[in-house]
Amino acid sequence: MFEDVAYGLPTALAVCVILLGVCLLLGMLNIRLSKNYAAFRSLARKRARKIADSNRMFRMAEEIAGLGVWQYSPHREKQSWSQGMKTLFGLAADEVVMPGDMETLLSSNGIDLIDAVTKASQIGQELSTQYSILRLDGQKRLLDVRATKTKNRIGQTSRFTAVLVDVTDQAQRESDLETSRELAVRQAQEARELAETDPLTGLANRRRIMAVLDQLVIKARQDGQALCMILFDIDHFKNVNDTYGHPAGDRVLKRIAQIACEQARKEDIVGRIGGEEFVWIVPGADMTFARVISERLRQAIAMGSGVGNMPAVTVSVGFASPEAGDTSLTLFAHADEALYEAKNSGRNNVRMAA
């Protein structure tokens, strides 16, 4: 019996030691698990905070930029909207949007993003377009849409992502800027035309005539192209003003301008260079042709100036063509000498520069 007791004590002690060891081991494991769980919870909280912060930053960026993000999974046939997408279409940020609602809002504005991104993908392009929409609050807005796709590891399209940006205000600013630019160009053109136009007759003024003549003389010198300059002056115009008054004189000047334009070709330039003196520049005209059209002009004015209650007038005409070394100023001087000779020869006639 004693032997059995003696034998049983060591066994009991051994069992106790083992149990104690197991308890210690479990305690250590529990401590480690507790620490790991605490660390896991801390990491999870940090990640949750980061995700929440990222979502807040994303929503803030959407709000500031006026954009929304649309996503579509072809395999799941599911689309999703960001908070910004809701705002773009006039929905409240906290409003729940179901897939059917999304499709209804898009289709009611003539938008099929799924079809658009799919077709663009099939031809190897990324979608880039604009849509005009009518929001739920009645506002008309313009959306710029850019879409791309994401592929999985085996090269299949796993997701389409589109960014929609409200560019209504930008488009309006650009439109206003373009309108302002066109207005500025038009006003500049009008100012230039006014600066180069005789206000009474609407013909080119002396400034415009000399600028064109400069170009034509240089071209004639370089290309050997014929050029003629015809000067004509109303005879005894002072008597018209003194007898009939200046308003009648103005009507005569306008009538002479009209007759001269009727005689000129489309490529010719007719101008009034001061008082009762006019000029007719005829590119491509040699001296023979210049004499013919100068005489025709003189006759047209003599027969056609006295219409209605306007007095009939005549003109003296002088013409010249550029010689070697001539400039616009020397050509003008030659034509003026011929005009002076026509006046000294009794007026109402044509003279060619010597």
Instruction: Say if residue 348 is in the same domain as residue 214.
Output: yes
Backbone phi, then psi, for 195, in 5-degree steps? -70, -20
Does a structural domain hold residue 279?
Answer: yes
Does a structural domain hold residue 177?
Answer: no
Does a structural domain hold residue 189?
Answer: no
Q: Which of 3, 178, 196, 276 is catalytic?
A: 276
Does a structural domain hold residue 176?
Answer: no
3 lies in which domain range? 1-59
Instruction: Say if residue 309 is in the same domain as residue 216.
Output: yes
Give the per-residue pLDDT at 86: 86
CA–CA distance, 59 with 353 (Å, rounded to integer): 84
The two beta strands, 315-320 and 350-352, are: parallel
Q: Angle at the Cα of 199 (from 195 to 204), degrees rounded to 5?
A: 60
CA–CA distance, 316 with 351 (Å, rounded to integer): 8
Instruction: Say if residue 218 is in the same domain as residue 321.
Output: yes
Q: Are 59 and 83 in contact (CB under 8 A)?
A: yes
Give the per-residue pLDDT at 154: 84
**Count of positions (residues) in the chain:** 354
User: Digits of tens for pLDDT over the chain (354 positions)?
Assistant: 434 444 455 666 666 667 667 666 666 666 665 666 555 566 656 665 554 455 455 455 566 667 889 899 988 888 888 888 888 888 887 788 787 888 888 888 999 998 998 998 888 888 999 999 999 888 999 999 999 998 888 888 889 999 999 999 989 999 999 999 999 988 888 788 788 899 999 999 999 999 999 999 999 888 888 999 999 999 999 999 999 999 999 999 999 999 999 999 999 999 999 999 999 999 999 999 999 999 999 999 999 998 888 899 999 999 999 988 899 999 999 999 999 999 999 999 999 998
3-state helix, strand, coil in the chain (%, to 5): 55, 20, 25
Is 337 designated active site? no
Instruction: Say if residue 214 is in the same domain as residue 327.
Output: yes
CA–CA distance, 187 with 174 (Å, rounded to integer): 19
- CATH code for position 237: 3.30.70.270
**Beta-bridge partner residues of 271:** 204, 279
CA–CA distance, 335 with 327 (Å, rounded to integer): 12
Nearest to 100 by CA among 81, 115, 82, 84: 81
- CATH code for position 129: 3.30.450.20
Instruction: Say if residue 332 is in the same domain as residue 216.
Output: yes
Does a structural domain hold residue 186?
Answer: no
Instruction: Say if residue 158 is in the same domain as residue 81.
Output: yes
Instruction: Say if residue 91 is in the same domain as residue 17.
Output: no
Give the per-residue pLDDT at 35: 60
Give the per-residue pLDDT at 40: 57
| Tally of domains within the chain | 3
Domain end call among 43, 59, 75? 59
Instruction: Say if residue 28 is in the same domain as residue 154.
Output: no
